[in-house]
Amino acid sequence: MQQRKKSKVSLVGAGPGSEDLITVRGLRVLQSADVILYDALVSTKLLSQVNDSILKIYVGKRCSQHSFTQDDINMLIVENAFKYGHVVRLKGGDPFVFGRAHEEIEYVESFGIPVSIVPGISSALSVPASQGIPMTRRGVSSSFWVMTATKRDGSFSEDLKYASQSSATMVILMGVRKLQEITDEVCKYRGSEIPVAVIQNGTLKNESCTIATLGTIDTCSNNIDISKPGIIVIGNVVAEHPSFFEEEVQRVLHSSL
Ligand SMILES: C[S@@+](CC[C@H](N)C(=O)[O-])C[C@H]1O[C@@H](n2cnc3c(N)ncnc32)[C@H](O)[C@@H]1O
């Protein structure tokens, strides 16, 4: 008689987008899954590297037909662990960066199911890096803040104000829809000359990067698709981007015509 598989859950970071930016351990654990529950920002190319016999269930919150709530996801993890054995919960970037990982861990553990974590490469650092934008640079920036700009009720977080008053590199996730309000707010403290980058589809073939300053970003709205997630980087390190000075020269020339 076949023995029932032991239920367990692995929370695995898929990396920022490109299928080869998962860790070696992450891929190994993925390939040992009985079922994979994956998010919207997980690469389909990565999933295609996994054996066809492994069940793959989309549980993203970004879907036109059905959007899964966090409660739905928690329950699906537990149901599938009891039914199939090893569930890999595959999450974009690193599970512990704006990933609601703790809610999933607490729920799953309350059923006596063990959970292990495989860290991933967060988009917060790797997406700017893929554009040649460093987080720190000697003499330019000695720290960085990774944050969301707004609270649940849509108002600006205190952290946005505190970070704006520092000289830290600011890395803002989930902020593209409010780009103008965010840059206007930061501009009050840092001034209009500070460079800003907006990167979308980071590390993928269709990656796009818009470079401007806090004072000129409003003229770039045509380059940014606000329906797509992206990362906003604010700080002098953005001037390290290979096209920063060229784009600024073009803007100055155009504005003087
Ligand atoms: C819910 S947070 C999850 C972050 C994830 N845990 C991580 O460590 O990268 C999703 C946000 O991450 C950012 N993001 C994730 N992948 C991205 C990518 N490939 N390009 C640009 N932004 C990305 C966007 O700001 C998006 O709204």
pLDDT one-digit tens code per residue, 145-182: 999 988 888 888 999 999 999 999 999 999 999 999 99
Pick the catalytic residue from 8, 56, 61, 83.
61
CA distances from 75 to 26, 69, 107, 192, 194 (A): 23, 10, 8, 47, 45
Percent of the chain with pLDDT over 90: 82
Task: Verify whether ligand 1 is closer than 6 Å to residue 26 (CB atom).
Answer: no
At residue 163, the 3 state secondary structure works out as helix
pLDDT one-digit tens code per residue, 189-204: 999 999 999 999 999 9
The band of 242, judged by pLDDT with boundaries at 50, 70 and 90, is confident
Domains recognised in the chain with CATH numbers: 8-118 (3.40.1010.10), 123-255 (3.30.950.10)
Task: Verify whether ligand 1 is closer than 6 Å to residue 123 (CB atom).
Answer: yes
Task: Verify whether ligand 1 is closer than 6 Å to residue 16 (CB atom).
Answer: yes
6 is an active site residue: no
Among protein residues, the one whose CA lies closest to atom 5 of ligand 1: 93
Q: What angle do CA 134, 145, 100 make, to 5 degrees?
A: 115
Written as one letter, the residue type at 213 is T
